[in-house]
Structure formats: structure tokens, C-alpha cells
Structure 1
Amino acid sequence: MKMKKEYATLGLALVLAGCGGGQAVTQPGDTTLSQDMDTAKDAVGLERLAVAEQQYRAAGQRAVARDDVTAIGDAGYNLATVQLDEGKPQDALSTVTATRSALAMRGQTGDDSGLDLVQAGALHRLGRETEAAAAASRAAGAQDTDIVEKAQLIRGLIADDSGDQATLASVDAYFANLTGKLPDSWTADAKEIAARNLLVTGGSTQTAMQDAMQAATIRQTQVDYRDMARALGVAGRAAAKAGNAQAAAQLYARASQSALQAGDKTTAAQWAKLAGTTSAVDPFALPATATTKKK
């Protein structure tokens, strides 16, 4: 049985990787394993990540029962990616470690670039930037162009957060040198990295804001709200650097509200602080229940 990974972005607040479903392409196959992977993929499409996590775990358990090294690797990658998108970077790291161990036990000793990719995203979420950069660099050497592209994005985000201007510039050059018709998600990533590099190098803040907003618009269309929120945050940086405090506060507030609804509470709180508020605001929250004290 051959399983399948798909690397469509789900927004990982920085990150990063996508989740896939699986299907049998040879016979005989394991219908239960295929159904678990398909159900998980459908759940991801509906943003029911808790269900997807449960189904990818079931697929992994079935793959172990089958002693299928390919299916184990794919289920482990997909499970770790969903956990990361749920805001569980430590769980994602544990899944990556367990998956690597299961693969090595079955003779697959080389590093899996997909696992390197999700590991880089998880480590970045945890603030372990040196380790994250190393994992992203390994993933950037993959044969799969989708993995390479996402690895370069993560390298750029890590470099920007770490003050590594040389790496950020090299990632910007990577995207600038891409040719041909690019997937929209790649264009959005390229625009975000270009905006970040302009802000670091003292380039045009207006161009940086335009690039960031273009990235946000593309991601909005693709229903990629976590990465959209991050691009809004970059636009906020550009507005602040241009001296437009009001526009910056509005952009940070928009990024905060979007991230909060997308489940990224930590980043939402950070942007809320930059917007000048104490916490992320939910304009559609249920009103507080009034209580009347009887005297």
C-alpha cells in the first residue's frame, strides 16, 4: 500500500506545512487504513482538527499493525502537522520523534524531509530558534519542491525573529529567483518575506506594507487565516515604521482578532499589546451575564 502526503498550507502561525490524506494505489490494500486517512483529510478540510488528529492517530496505529513503513511515515507526518496547527508544538515534536523511531526500526534511517519541516515549525513555535533553523535547513535540501518552498519560508521567519539579516536576505533572494507560474500560496509567502526583508534593510515601508497586504489578501482567498493574520502583523510593522501609529494599531488589532478566532491565542495576545490593548478583543463574544446581588 502506498500512502500519500500533501503539502497544502494550513496556516501554522508561522508555519508552515500541510496535511494530507491517503489512498491505496496498489492492490491488495487495507481499506480501514485508507478510510482513516481519508476521513482525517476531510476533517482537515472542514477545520475539524481534533477529529483529524484522532483519525490520523488511528491510521498510524493501523499502519503499525500492518508493519507498513511508508504508511507509518505519512500518518506520523500528518498527525504531527495537525497537532502543530492545533497549537500543540510539544505534542508535534513527540510525534515526530516517535515516528522517526518507528521508521528506523524498520530500516529507514535517513532523515525524512517532511518530518524535518514540521519539526522546524514546532521548534520555532517553542522559541528554540537554533534547533528550528537547523531542521528547516535540512528540509530545504529536500527533493520535493513543496517541502523546499515551505522550508524556505520557515527559514525566513526564524531569521527575521532572530535578527539574522543574512539568512533573511538569502531567503528573499530564493523567492525572487523563482520563475514560471507560481502557486498562489508561494506568491503570498514570497510577498511576506519580501516585506520582512524591506523592513530589516531600511527599504520602502510603503512597498513593504503593499507586499504584506497582498500576502494577506491571497491567504484570505485561500482560507488560510493564521498566515493571513501574520501578514497583517507584518503590515502593522510597516505602518509603525512609517510613523503611522493609527494605521499600525488598526492592523495589529485586525491581526490579533483574526489570530484569536483561528485559535492562536498567544500570537493574538502579542499583537493586541502592539495595538495598545491589554488582550485580544473578540467583537462577537457572548455578552457577560449580569448578576444582581440581592440585599
Structure 2
Amino acid sequence: MGFWKRLFSSKKEYKSAAKKWIEDTEKVQKSVRRILDFLFDSTLKELLPEKISLSLEPISGIRIPEEKIRNIFQGLDIQTLVPFDSVSDAMSLETQEAILELAARTVAAPSKIFLMKILNQAEVQSMFADGLEKILIEFNKKLNPLAGVFQAAGFEKQISGFLSALLPGFTERMAEILHSSSESEAGKMLIRNTLKILFQSGFSEIGYIQASDLRKHLEKLRDAVSRDPLLEKSLEKFYENFRDSILNEYRAETLKEFLGYSEKEYIHFRDAISKNTAENILAIHKQKPLTELVSGLLEDVLE
């Protein structure tokens, strides 16, 4: 009986301590600061283990009934989902300009070979041919009063044959322009202006989500990913290469040093994160008490 009494008393103490901790934002902030200090004062070698355990199998357990997916997407109205009409309404002009400047000055030029593979697709070539053919026919009708006679004589077929011979050179030239344009001032202005249009356009102009057969396709993707050993090995290899590339240069640096924080900057960052975290934990606790969860974790650690 004495054992059970002591155990029951301990559990009551765990719950009391957990409740007191959750509802005291200063204590939560202190705990979060402790976690951040541990992470940011650790070296990258200490934070990046040589091997990680990675399994995609749990993805197979992600299931949402089709009816619920359909209802969510049918009721997903962008205009009511977000409290603003466009992206530009959600941020200051200064922030927008900073994003536009970053996008315009960041060079990520795809290779000419990659662009040729895209542009040489039959569907893309067909779109080019149809568009150019219509332009040439309309141009001929405007300038040539005998266009009807030529058309009857098979002028359109002649244009099609001409375009078939012209398209490979046209495609290659377009690939060259696209490849080099990202480094030119004109290309950078194109990127900047395109993003600006995107920011200022209303969400209704951008498009909508269609949920036709969504669950079937999502389940097919989920099942394929969860049983894909090649993808699993690729992710593990990506982590290994990523780790090696960082540790080759910066293994002895702490996370704080790697990110270039001064002590003052780090403390400001840490305090802001800990304050927000404490406030959010308390907000969740008021809706769904976290006392049982935290006291259970405390019990797992101490017993």
C-alpha cells in the first residue's frame, strides 16, 4: 500500500508541476531558451549524425476519406480563405520590393540541353506550329488580295511544310534566348515584372483547384512513395552528401557561428522565438488542457 500511495502522490505532483509550468509563460520561455541554447551552442558535427533512420512506410497510414477531401476543396474559396484580395495586400511595399530584387538578382539559368528537351516535346512543337501558321495565314490575307486563290491552291499546306522545316532552328534559337536571358538585364526585368503582376493580381484571376478523382490520385501517390526503396535510399544519400558538404568546411562551427549571429542578434532571436512559443502553448492549453500530456512526459523521464 505504501508503494501505491507514494506512486499516486508522485503522479499528483507531476500534474501539479506540469499545470504550473504550462500556465507560467516565463517558465515556458526559460525552457524554450534552454533548448535553443543547446542547439545553437552545439557544433554542426554534433547536430548532424553520420547515419539517420529514414522510412517512408508510415506515409501509407495517411488517409483522408474522399468525401471529406471533396467537401474541403468544394468549400475552399480563396477569396474567403484569406483576408486580402491579392498578395500585395498582405505585405508592405518594402517587403515586396525586397522579394522582387532577390528574384531578379538570383541567377538560375537552365542548360540549353534541358530547354531543348522541353521545347522539342511534340505537344509544344504542335502549339508553336499552330500559332505560327495562323499568324502567317492572317498576315497573307492582310497583304495579299489574292489570298483566297492561293488558299484554294493549297497555300496553307505549303505553310505547314515550310514550318516543319523551320521549327527545329526556331526551337534551338528560343532555347538559346531562354538560357541566356536570365543573366541579361532584360531577363531579370522580365522575372521582376512577372512576379509583380502575380503579387498584384486577384486570387480569382490566378485560378482554382479542381478536386476531380483527387483521392484516387493521392492514394496512388501515397502507396507508391511508401513502397519505394529507391526513393528512400536517394533521400538517405542526399542527407549524407548534404552532411559531408557542410562538415568538410564547417564541422567545428556552432550553429550560431554558422548562421553568423552575433551574441546580441542571437539573444534577440532566441527571446522572440521563446516568447511566441510560450504564448502559443498557453493558447492551445486553454482550448485543450496539456496537463496530462506534460505530466505523462515528466513521469516517463523520471520513472
TM-score over 0.5 for the alignment? no
Largest Rg, 1 or 2? 2
Name the TM-score class by shorter chain: under 0.3
**Is the helix fraction higher in 1 or 2?**
2
